[in-house]
């Protein structure tokens, strides 16, 4: 089954898209995605293949995750998501453990953003969240992104406190990809409860990274934007 999936992935590849993705995901020297390899599949194409091959064994999923080709890894993580959605509680625990063991394979932001909330966020929603808080303290950029994006599941279920606590911990993060992720999650809180987002912003807008702030206030009216950007 793995060989057939790999054939379909290769067949669906598009060299011109691969070049665009390589630039977009900063695969050049010094970029956050340095050395990553693309063959040019769209996310919908990968989702479709993941659904088709959802019964792939965990051993073969691990082989996908260890592949140097970006789309192989993302398709493998999509398969995990679809397995998780169908799993009972014991199986979900096994998938979470497997995800955490292989999280270093999620080494670009799209692989995290499409998956982390659907596995970690969903699983830990009604459980102790120590794992997520530990990830937020990691020296790994990708672990920290996993931590904040995992809380998107909580936000969708109108639970904001963990997102706000982790956002507070990441205020002094040095990486632009964390600034963008935290700002995005704050904006998502604001879609559901603008008062709660503004409580956070009133406390931190003068000291938080500007990119984070811009993402967080993207949906505000012009007067509020000017106020939070210090131009009012």
Q: What pLDDT digit, counting tens, does each position of 15-29 carry?
A: 999 999 999 999 999
Predicted pLDDT of residue 83: 98
Mean pLDDT of 94-112: 97
Per-residue pLDDT at 121 exceeds 50? yes
Radius of gyration of the chain (CA): 19
Multiple choice CATH, 115-232, 1.25.10.90, 1.20.140.10, 1.10.10.10, 3.40.50.1100: 1.25.10.90
Give the bridge partners for 24, in sequence order. Answer: none
Instruction: For 1-108, give the CATH class.
Output: mainly alpha
pLDDT digits (tens, 9 = 90+) for 186-216: 999 999 999 999 999 999 999 999 999 999 9
Per-residue pLDDT at 231 exceeds 80? no
Closest CA to 101 of 133, 77, 70, 129: 77
Q: Residue 230's pLDDT band (boundaries 50, 70, 90)?
A: confident
Predicted pLDDT of residue 232: 47
Angle at 187 (CA atoms; ends 183, 190), nearest 5 degrees: 145
Mean pLDDT of 136-152: 98
Burial group, residue 36, by CB count within 10 angstroms (0-12, 13-18, 19+): buried
Question: What percent of the chain stands above pLDDT 90?
Answer: 98
Comma-separated ranges of CATH 1.25.10.90 domains in the chain = 1-108, 115-232
Q: Residue 137's pLDDT band (boundaries 50, 70, 90)?
A: very high
> HEC string of 63-94?
HHHCCCEHHHHHHHHHHHHHHHHHCCHHHHHH
pLDDT digits (tens, 9 = 90+) for 38-78: 999 999 999 999 999 999 999 999 999 999 999 999 999 99
Distance separating alpha carbons of residues 52 and 7, to the nearest angstrom = 13
pTM for the structure as a whole: 0.94
Distance separating alpha carbons of residues 12 and 2, to the nearest angstrom = 15
């Amino acid at each position: 089954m793995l060989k057939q999936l790999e054939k379909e992935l290769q067949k669906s590849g598009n060299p011109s898209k691969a070049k665009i993705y390589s630039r977009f995901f900063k695969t050049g020297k010094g970029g956050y995605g340095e050395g990553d390899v693309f063959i040019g599949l769209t996310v919908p194409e990968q989702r479709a293949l993941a659904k088709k091959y959802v019964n792939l064994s965990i051993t073969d999923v691990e082989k996908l995750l260890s592949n140097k080709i970006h789309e192989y890894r993302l398709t493998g993580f999509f398969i995990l998501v679809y397995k998780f959605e169908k799993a009972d509680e014991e199986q979900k625990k096994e998938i979470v453990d497997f995800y955490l063991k292989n999280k270093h394979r999620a080494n670009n932001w799209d692989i995290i953003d499409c998956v982390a909330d659907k596995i970690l966020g969903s699983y830990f929603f009604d459980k102790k969240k120590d794992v997520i808080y530990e990830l937020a303290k990691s020296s790994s950029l990708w672990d920290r992104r996993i931590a904040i994006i995992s809380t998107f599941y909580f936000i969708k279920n109108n639970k904001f406190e963990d997102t706000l606590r982790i956002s507070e911990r990441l205020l002094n993060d040095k990486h632009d990809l964390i600034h963008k992720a935290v700002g995005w999650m704050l904006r998502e809180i604001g879609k559901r409860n603008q008062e709660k987002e503004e409580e956070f912003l009133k406390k931190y807008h003068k000291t938080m990274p500007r990119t984070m702030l811009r993402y967080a206030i993207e949906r505000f009216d012009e007067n509020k934007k000017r106020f939070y950007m210090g131009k009012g």
